[in-house]
Amino acid sequence: MKQSIIGRNVVDDISFGAIVKIRDQLLEMQRNGKKVYRLESGDPSFSLPPHVKEAIKQAIENNKTHYTDSTGIPELRRAIAEKLVKKNGIKNATPENVIVSNGGMNALYVTFRSLISPGDEVIIPDPMWTEIAEIIKLAEGVPVRVPVENYTENLLKYEDDERIKAVFINSPHNPTGLVFTPKQIDDIISFAESKGIFIVSDEAYEDVIFDGRKHVSPASKYDDTISLFSMSKTYAMSGLRIGYAHTNNDLLYERMKKLLRCTINGVNSATQYGAVAALTGPQEFVGQMRDEYQKRRDIIYNAVLKSPYLEPIKPGGTFYLWCRIKKFPEGVKDSWDMTYYLLDKTGVGSSPGPVFGPAGEGYIRFAFSADTEQIKEASELLEKFH
């Protein structure tokens, strides 16, 4: 039989995910009986709020388990629109211009696939969560990395670049924990407005924000913004895979609807009822979770301050601690080596900075989303390690 020919595909340019290598090493150490601390990736340690669990349970018991509208059940789209208006200040949000997605990543793909054409360039911060550049590539676009330090000033270098079709922001920012100030948001809006391009705003960590800082949604000030959100971080629903997006552009919305229809054809129905309960029910959980994250941040930050090797950068949001390697131990030459070195010597996992982009070399990232006792133990090990 003649062998089938498989030609080149855009997927060939996508990496599998470098953090998986660290995860595999951690799991191997665990299997060999060593105590390890899973600080290499962020997954909220909190349990689902009880009223959200109950809503999902009731949806199943009431047989709400059939196909739904591919853009999301009406009740959820209404709840999202109300939240966007009241909490985010996006006054033009309606149930007719929001979509429900299979997690935030699905919303990102649908957004970029709807927005850009092959060869279009999208400015992204460097460093940046690994999947952003990959999703842009999947949409046949070109990610253009701009250092996140002095991000707004660095954007000005691209004022005359006609290939740029969108600017991406993520605030609070993964991996650095940076929270863009209202002035920085205004500057990004001015840049986008002057070029006539869209802002794509990933606001997954909008509620994981510390020290009294306020989150600003660009869409509250600039109509040509596609706003992306996740239920994972705010309501500890990471495994339930539910996110949402808003755009005020009719053409983009129609494209997004088509993509949803032809890919996922709707999000898990019971989970959507849980999301309604999350958005419309008691919100005390959100503040309590944020306070606990801030407590964990302070624990690990203060511990790493005493390290002869690492200089922590205090995050204003997210559950990540970004650390500059100020001194390499003997035999250690880069971020990857440092990650493996710490893992071997302390059992504490981390992510090497370069997986987030070239600007990440010389840095590592710890996640403090594990439970508080784990963070305390890991922090003690990092503090004592010399």
Domain residues for the domain of 26 are: 10-47+285-384
Residues 97 and 143 occupy one common structural domain: yes
HSE on the CB side for 94, CA within 13 Å? 7
Same domain for 348 and 278: no
Mean pLDDT for the stretch of residues 214-219:
97
What distance in Å separates the CA atoms of residue 329 and residue 92, rounded to the nearest whole number?
Answer: 54
Same domain, 311 and 278: no
Is the pLDDT higher at 259 or at 21?
Answer: 259
> Distance from CA of residue 194 to its chain's centroid?
27
Confidence of residue 173 (pLDDT cuts 50, 70, 90): very high
For 100, the 3-state DSSP assignment is strand
Q: Which residues pair with 170 in a beta bridge?
A: 202
pLDDT at 299: 98
How confident is the model at residue 256, as a pLDDT? 98
> With left for phi above 0 and alpha for psi between -120 and 50, is residue 123 left, alpha or beta?
beta
Q: How many CB atoms lie within 10 A of CB 159?
A: 10
Q: Please tell me whether residues 252 and 347 are part of one structural domain.
A: no
Distance from C-alpha of 325 to C-alpha of 306, rounded to nearest angstrom: 13
Instruction: Assess if residue 4 is contained within a domain.
Output: no
* pLDDT score for 385: 85
DSSP SS3 for 180: coil
Residue 59: strand, helix, or coil: helix
Task: Answer whether residue 230 shows pLDDT above 90.
Answer: yes
Predicted confidence at residue 258, as pLDDT, reads 97
What integer pLDDT is reported at residue 1 of this predicted model? 63
- Residue 2 above 70 pLDDT? no
Residue 289, burial from CB neighbour count under 10 angstroms (0-12, 13-18, 19+): buried
User: Average pLDDT of 54-61?
Assistant: 98
Core vs surface per residue 343-362: b (16+ CB within 10 A) or e? beebbbbbbbbbbbbebbeb
Average pLDDT in the 222-241 region?
97
Mean pLDDT of the region 249-268: 97
* 201 and 293 share one domain: no
User: In this structure, are 250 and 369 located in the same domain?
Assistant: no
Which residues on adjacent β-strands are paired with residue 325?
A: 310
**In a 3-state reduction of DSSP, which class is residue 8?**
coil
Instruction: Based on the fold, state whether residues 164 and 94 are members of the same structural domain.
Output: yes
In this structure, are 64 and 179 located in the same domain? yes
Domain count, the chain: 2
Per DSSP, which regions of the chain are E strands?
Answer: 98-101, 121-126, 142-147, 164-170, 198-202, 225-230, 243-246, 310-313, 320-325, 351-352, 363-367
Q: Which of 228, 258, 282 is the last residue of a domain?
A: 282
Q: Which two tokens stand for residue 45?
A: 């340690």
pLDDT of 19 higher than 80: no
> Strand 164-170 relative to strand 198-202: parallel, antiparallel, unpaired?
parallel
What pLDDT score was predicted for residue 14?
83
Token pair 């709840």 in the structure block, residue: 79
For residue 41, the model assigns a pLDDT of 86
pLDDT tens, residue by residue, 113-172 = 999 999 999 999 999 999 999 999 999 999 999 999 999 999 999 999 999 999 999 999
Contact 324, 295 (CB under 8 A): no
In a domain, 3, yes or no: no
- Residue 201: which residues within 8 A CB-CB, separation 6 or more? 168, 169, 170, 171, 217, 218, 219, 225, 226, 227, 228
Residue 1 lies in a domain: no
CATH number for the domain including 176? 3.40.640.10
Flag whether 209 is in a domain.
yes
Mean residue pLDDT across the chain: 95
B/e letters for 164-190, b = 16+ CB within 10 Å, e = fewer, are bbbbbbbbbbbbbbbbbeeebbbbbbe
pLDDT tens across 297-355, in order?
999 999 999 999 999 999 999 999 999 999 999 999 999 999 999 999 999 999 999 99
The larger pLDDT score, comparing residue 33 to residue 357, is at 357
Q: What is the pLDDT of residue 15?
A: 81
Question: 225, 254, 282: which is the final residue of a domain?
Answer: 282
Of 290, 298, 287, give the one whose Cα is nearest residue 375: 298
Task: For residues 248 and 319, state if they share a domain.
Answer: no
Inside any domain, residue 5: no
- pLDDT-derived band at 212 (thresholds 50, 70, 90) equals very high
Contact call for residues 246 and 90 (beta carbons, < 8 A): yes
The larger pLDDT score, comparing residue 374 to residue 18, is at 374
179 with 301, same domain: the answer is no
23 pLDDT band, cuts 50/70/90, is: confident
| Burial of residue 286 (number of CB atoms within 10 Å: 0-12, 13-18, 19+) | middle
How far apart are alpha carbons 125 and 129 in whole angstroms?
A: 9
Residues 189 and 57 in one domain: yes
Average pLDDT over residues 74-98: 98
Q: What is the DSSP string of 294-339?
A: HHHHHHHHHHHTT-SSEEEE--SBSSEEEEEE-SPPTT--SHHHHH
Q: What CATH number is attached to the domain comprising 366? A: 3.90.1150.10
Are residues 56 and 42 both part of a single domain? no
Final residue before a domain boundary, out of 251, 282, 313: 282
In a domain, 2, yes or no: no
